[in-house]
Chain A
């Protein structure tokens, strides 16, 4: 009985669902249907079981849950009739997949059906096995499938061949069993069987090296002959597609020859004649012919060198590239990427066309072309190619800018012939697509600028010009603001003018304007605005005339709701107002970070994909030992990861680290505090702990015991001892604290870690002679109040320097 011609209830249900006007109505209909199907399932109703499952499949297709029907599939498969089995297997393939446990239950039914006499039932079982079998089932049923490869009906043989592919993909160990049957499949004349046999052969070669060798010796000639037959075959209406007999078989044959010929001169030799024939004789007006040519080119590129053939192949690709059909151009670009490895010169000839493809309207073509251009770039053509790409960046659509920018940056970094060109190109990219530029790219740019001492003036002036035009590119603003902060004086005084530059007049207040506009732009993110604050601080020292104005701008952020801005504002305000004498030292130019070291680190960090906090620890040089990574409060932290840490770096939200231990001479003024965050390494003239640090740094070992830092930072300050409650009012520490000279020597002076009216904590340090890395700290707590302390808990936070 056919469930779909009689009763028509499946049709009725589909009609009812289609008649629904709203989603709610549809759900109601489905709910009703599902309820009646469930009822039928629990009644174990036999007559309508396959019709119910068919309905469930339709419901499944609409996206409703149908798991309750899974067992019904198994029951139907176990039923004797073909109609039931058919629906059962269909349901099995749709409702289940290889990961479900239930599937194991069907193995037995499958085994029985594979041994049936009715070839249609065997076909159903093979089909299900090929589409969803799991590794366990593959192992259990492989012998049956192997037997069926010799079945009398070709329909079963081809199904069994494809089924075997699934089996060997799931269990590669079984590959050996299929090698011999494949050899006989490859001799078949039936197109379907030959096609699937070749496919099985291809997959066997992929999973098993021995099989590949075996087929190479035994079957290469036979396959070449098959290809010859099909190429020269007269018109066969059954397989004809636009004048070509079975293009699918052509393509399969070419593909298996590609694998057999790859890396083997004899096999390659054997097939060269027929490849030449296919490459020259195939009709290229229709898609089918082009598909064959495309496959043939791929095979020629992969098999062992035969000069004549390769020229032929490259010419075909050239023809493809100038084709009006986008599909053909797409595959040409795809194949040219492989051709580069074979004959770069020939591909270079098509550069202009490829570059045009980068500007195509179709995203698929653009993407391929861009990849190809990326491979085509070399030292000699980088300048004209870059010009094209950067020009195109202006007009490209937003979705493509990300990819394009990444590629441009990568090319510029790899091939830049000189620094000025590098800086120019990067500025163009930043101006056009600054928002797509990755952090590491602009960090690298800053490193290059700091290293190019003769180009700093040029860079800052170019940046100033660029930022006047494009104000919405965040990374451009960052680099510009940073450079203006560092080299503001070069900007206004036109220092180190290059011949190619046009003179530019910028007043000090113009420069401050740029930074002020940026900091007031609320669409920029916190990091950028924090960088602006630092630039302002630096400018306040570089431009004395604007000092007052800058102070006012900075002061506006004292009330900022953004904690980082607020804190910096308060600190900087205090520096400008109260500490003029140390300000110029604080805001000195950043020390230069060696490019080679930087690039090495960048490569390392990129490969290890370490988190920023780790990068901190390992990237620290210039004597900076430890910094805390307080993620949301990044100002220079971002820079700090890759840049030399500025003297006024900031890191945490709990300790002030503005004081630069680098200035032991002025130690009486700026009592060196526990600058846990950025202990600027003192000149190695003092006691051993200092050298200790330097040694550690040279070893590039981030694992500095935080307490070492703590203690060593005391060394340069030898005679100074902080007494103020530094945790209380961080800014007050600048005030002249009573300095208590101590004897500096091999022992470490104790420090007052905390002092209030109620409690004093004093740390005493001692080094163990056998282990200088280790420092013992003895903490002494003195209760100065009249109360009794109970449940006293002491908690110490140590910056994490090692992960």
Chain B
């Protein structure tokens, strides 16, 4: 199960943070700080997996943004890595050529997309097309 998802830039600013387990606010900030420290200086050739406390962080870097998922130790790391990529593709498609600023100004939409992709810490939909279509429907509702 996914414990939390973080989107951070290289300076450690959190652009999106979604927690599927209850944590205190102070603990969340600590987690964000620690995860950033763990991933930011790793060589690109290194594995995309880092052990974090009793869990594992699966991360992937896209330009200046780090996408990190914290998952259980027994979970399939490679699958989550593929999941991160799928999420990025969805964002890219939705914002047509996504950049960090899109995520800053439309953070609420990013959360909406994430809620269509992952729910209760599990993948909900694996089709890019389905999610994009669903987002279109939701936008029409407003």
A interface residues, Cβ below 8 angstroms from B: 2, 4, 11, 14, 18, 54, 57-58, 61, 63, 82-83, 86-87, 90, 93-94, 97-99, 120, 126-127, 130-132, 155, 158-159, 162-163, 165-166, 191-192, 195-196, 199, 237-239, 241, 246-249, 251, 255, 287-288, 290-291, 294-295, 298, 326-331, 334, 361-365, 367
Contact = CB atoms under 8 A, between A and B. Distances in A.
B82 A57 contact: no
B124 A192 contact: yes
Interface string B6-44: 000000001111111011000001000000000000110
Contacts of A329: 47
Contacts of A291: 76, 78-79, 81-82
B46 A162 contact: no
Interface stretch (B61-69, B90-98, B129-137): B129-137
Closest 8 CB pairs of A and B: A291-B78, A130-B120, A362-B46, A97-B22, A162-B119, A248-B126, A192-B125, A326-B47
A365 B47 contact: yes
15 contacts: A11-B105, A57-B107, A82-B141, A86-B112, A90-B112, A94-B111, A97-B19, A165-B122, A191-B126, A192-B124, A196-B124, A288-B78, A327-B49, A362-B43, A362-B46
Contacts of B107: 57-58, 61
A132 B19 CA distance: 9
B82 A247 contact: yes
B54 interface: no
Number of chain B interface residues as a range? 35 or more
A295 B46 contact: no
Nearest to A328: B78
Given A4-B108, A330-B49, A331-B78, A162 B122 contact: yes
Contacts of B23: 97
B43 to A, nearest CB: 7
Contacts of B123: 195, 199, 248
A61 B108 contact: no
Contact of A99 (B14, B22, B79, B120): B22
Given A58-B107, A120-B137, A367-B51, A199 B122 contact: yes
A191 B122 contact: no
Interface of B: 14-20, 22-23, 29, 42-43, 45-51, 76-79, 81-83, 86, 104-108, 111-112, 115, 119-120, 122-130, 134, 137-138, 141-142
A295 B76 contact: yes
Nearest to B13: A62
A331 B82 contact: no
Contacts of B104: 14, 18
**Most A CB atoms within 10 A — which of B20, B47, B137?**
B47
A327 B59 CA distance: 11
Given A98-B22, A239-B127, A241-B82, A364 B122 contact: no
B48 A327 contact: yes
Nearest to A81: B142
A238 B134 CA distance: 14
B78 A287 contact: yes
A94 B111 CA distance: 10
Contacts of B18: 93
Nearest to A239: B127
B78 A61 contact: no
B47 A327 contact: yes
Contact of A61 (B14, B19, B127): B14
A2 B43 contact: no
A329 B82 CA distance: 17
Contacts of A365: 46-47
**Most A CB atoms within 10 A — which of B50, B120, B124?**
B120
